[in-house]
């Protein structure tokens, strides 16, 4: 039977809950639209329409209601017990006209592979990590606090950022269960930043932070109809993020608008001495990316259309062709380009990930000191394979495959790394862009969300994340329409450190087309 749920039907329930301390405002009068933006919220703070504490309480109530009485999305793993205290402190600072930064008072969720020094564990969705409490904030979390964000809690994710088994279901973790797509609860949210994507789409927060190694920001944004920025590796510190790959990992913002994502990105770009990628000599970083939000940002741009990734998907091709035509109408020159990535690059990248996962995880566990609940990858394998819930659906064979690798001095690792980077950069994105004098390349981020299948695993179909992911280059995804009510996105990617130029294109396209749509919570059960 098909059923639908509505934001507005739920509103009285959200506002009447009393799960947390009572706020000064009568919560029944608090009206927060599901597509509210950072600037709208900050305008409301200025007018004293509501306080930061009011807003934080609203989102805590909404998360509770959706979890207990609404469609059980399984998007959230942990609520920050300090959220209201943080909000009250930020209210005091605002009263004294001392906002911390561009995110002052904005409720944000973090993917649960990002360290915070508070009463929340950092788990990667894994049962052995459920009582793992970091010793300090990751630089990413610290920068959000410095910018004034209210960290609401931690979002569910594909366990170990989906680097655990030979096949898996995106959005599933042993600790949090299967995250569900808010447009159709039977469909997959993609991952690994599944909870982050679902939470933003379903208005459980204003912005969320995801991480990507290959597709883990852009794919859940595609499946959940939101905007995501996968920055150049090195723009955002990875210290204190449970790793897969030193070469490919990055954190990035996920939001309902390009503007909100850009505001958040600017708060995350402080270099980190503990992350050498952020110290690159050619690094280009800004504290304010809203300077690139130009409605005529497509005018004069030369854009490559990476069409071959569509294969034979006729209906998605029509949506993508319409997006390209919209860009042309805004003054862009769009030309079809050949393959952007050598097919062998993926195999080399996978070998790099295996080596770097082993090295990175062991270093992360060691960083937790004596209180570490998992001491090493060896220990993780032993605990995981002894846990019935962890092993019920998936084999976790990648943990063993990674553990069988040597260290980062191995010749095989160095050769795989060199080939992956060369094929994706000078023989890939850079070669194609330079040959055609391009400002960016566009492609469908993915097809519509597939049916979640815990028995057979994911069926991705169309996806285009690999060129930018393997190269470590930036990519932005924006909603570009839907197929039968399921959202699909367009990815815009290019040379390293060109986030500003990509934002010009993304913002102009978004403002012209406005394809973002709120979820319907359809259930086909």
- Going from N- to C-terminal start, the domains of the chain cover 30-47+75-277+288-513
Catalytic residues: 111, 192, 216
Rounded distance, CA 253 to CA 196, Å? 9
Question: Which are the contacts of 15, defined by CB distance < 8 A and separation ≥ 6?
Answer: 27, 28, 30, 58, 61
**Helix (H, G, I), strand (E, B), or coil: what is residue 370?**
helix
Q: Do 228 and 252 form a contact (C-beta atoms < 8 A)?
A: yes
Question: Which are the contacts of 278, defined by CB distance < 8 A and separation ≥ 6?
Answer: 234, 235, 236, 237, 271, 272
Question: Which are the contacts of 111, defined by CB distance < 8 A and separation ≥ 6?
Answer: 154, 155, 157, 192, 193, 195, 196, 208, 209, 210, 211, 251
- Sign of the Cα torsion 327, 442, 318, 213 reads negative
The CA–CA distances, whole Å, from 267 to 154, 300, 369 equal: 19, 29, 29
Q: What are the tokens at 237?
A: 């510190």
Rounded distance, CA 483 to CA 459, Å? 17
> How are beta strands 475-483 and 227-230 bridged, if at all?
antiparallel
Rounded distance, CA 101 to CA 263, Å? 10
Note if the bond before 192 is cis, omega within 30 degrees.
yes
Nearest C-alpha neighbor of 356 from the set 418, 272, 417: 417
HSE-CB for 296 with a 13 A CA cutoff: 3
Q: Do 158 and 172 form a contact (C-beta atoms < 8 A)?
A: yes
| Phi, psi for 401 (deg, rounded to 5) | -60, -40
| Phi, psi for 3 (deg, rounded to 5) | -130, 155
pLDDT tens-place values along the chain, 525 residues long: 333 333 222 332 232 233 333 444 554 468 899 999 999 999 999 999 999 999 999 999 999 999 998 899 999 999 999 999 999 999 999 999 999 999 999 999 999 999 999 999 999 999 999 999 999 999 999 999 999 999 999 999 999 999 999 999 999 999 999 999 999 999 999 999 999 999 999 999 999 999 999 999 999 999 999 999 999 999 999 999 999 999 999 999 999 999 999 999 999 999 999 999 999 999 999 999 999 999 999 999 999 999 999 999 999 999 999 999 999 999 999 999 989 999 999 999 999 999 999 999 999 999 999 999 999 999 999 999 999 999 999 999 999 999 999 999 999 999 999 999 999 999 999 999 999 999 999 999 999 999 999 999 999 999 999 999 999 999 999 999 999 999 999 999 999 999 999 999 999 999 999 999 999 888 744
CATH no. of 30-47+75-277+288-513: 3.90.1300.10
Rounded distance, CA 218 to CA 211, Å? 10
Rounded distance, CA 249 to CA 231, Å? 10
DSSP tag of 494: -
């Amino acid at each position: 039977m098909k059923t639908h749920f509505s934001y507005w039907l739920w509103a009285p329930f959200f506002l009447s809950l009393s799960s947390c301390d009572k706020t000064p405002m009568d919560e029944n009068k608090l009206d927060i639209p599901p597509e509210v933006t950072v600037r709208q919220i900050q305008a409301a703070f200025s007018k004293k329409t509501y306080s930061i504490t009011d807003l934080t309480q609203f989102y805590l109530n909404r998360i509770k209601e959706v979890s207990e009485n609404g469609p059980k999305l399984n998007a959230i793993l942990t609520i920050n017990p300090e959220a209201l205290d943080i909000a009250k402190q930020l209210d005091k600072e605002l009263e004294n006209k001392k906002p911390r930064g561009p995110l002052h008072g904005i409720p944000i969720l973090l993917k649960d592979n990002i360290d915070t020094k508070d009463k929340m564990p950092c788990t990667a969705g894994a049962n052995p990590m459920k009582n793992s409490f970091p010793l300090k904030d990751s630089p990413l979390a610290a920068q959000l606090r410095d910018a004034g964000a209210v960290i609401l809690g931690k979002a569910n994710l594909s366990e170990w950022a989906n680097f655990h088994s030979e096949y898996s279901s995106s959005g599933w973790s042993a600790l949090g269960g299967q995250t569900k797509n808010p447009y159709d609860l039977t469909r997959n949210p993609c991952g690994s930043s599944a909870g982050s994507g679902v939470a933003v789409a379903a208005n459980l927060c204003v912005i969320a932070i995801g991480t990507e190694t290959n597709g883990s920001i852009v794919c859940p944004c595609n499946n959940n109809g939101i905007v995501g920025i996968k920055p150049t590796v090195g723009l955002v510190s990875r210290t204190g993020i449970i790793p897969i790959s030193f070469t490919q990992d990055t954190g990035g913002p996920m939001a309902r608008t390009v503007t909100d994502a850009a505001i958040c990105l600017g708060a995350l770009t402080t270099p980190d001495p503990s992350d050498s990628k952020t110290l690159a000599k050619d690094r280009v970083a800004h504290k304010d990316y809203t300077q690139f939000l130009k409605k005529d940002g497509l005018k004069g741009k030369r854009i490559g259309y990476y069409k071959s990734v569509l294969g034979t998907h006729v209906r998605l091709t029509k949506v993508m062709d319409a997006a390209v035509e919209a860009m042309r109408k805004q003054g862009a020159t769009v030309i079809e380009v050949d393959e952007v990535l050598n097919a062998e690059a993926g195999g080399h990248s996978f070998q790099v990930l295996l080596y770097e996962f082993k090295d990175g995880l062991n270093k992360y566990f060691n960083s937790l000191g004596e209180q570490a609940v998992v001491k090493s990858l060896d220990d993780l394998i032993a605990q995981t394979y002894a846990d019935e819930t962890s092993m019920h659906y998936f084999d976790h064979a990648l943990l063993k495959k990674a553990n069988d690798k040597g260290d980062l001095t191995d010749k095989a690792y160095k050769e795989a790394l060199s080939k992956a980077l060369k094929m994706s950069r000078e023989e890939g994105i850079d070669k194609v862009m330079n040959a055609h004098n391009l400002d960016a390349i566009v492609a469908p981020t993915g097809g519509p969300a597939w049916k979640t299948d815990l028995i057979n695993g994911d069926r991705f179909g169309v996806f285009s994340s690999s060129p930018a992911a393997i190269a470590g280059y930036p990519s932005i995804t924006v909603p570009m329409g839907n197929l039968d009510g399921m959202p699909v996105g367009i990815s815009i990617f290019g040379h390293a450190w060109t986030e500003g130029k990509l934002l010009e294109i993304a913002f102009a396209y978004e403002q012209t087309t406005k394809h973002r749509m709120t979820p319907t919570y359809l259930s086909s059960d």
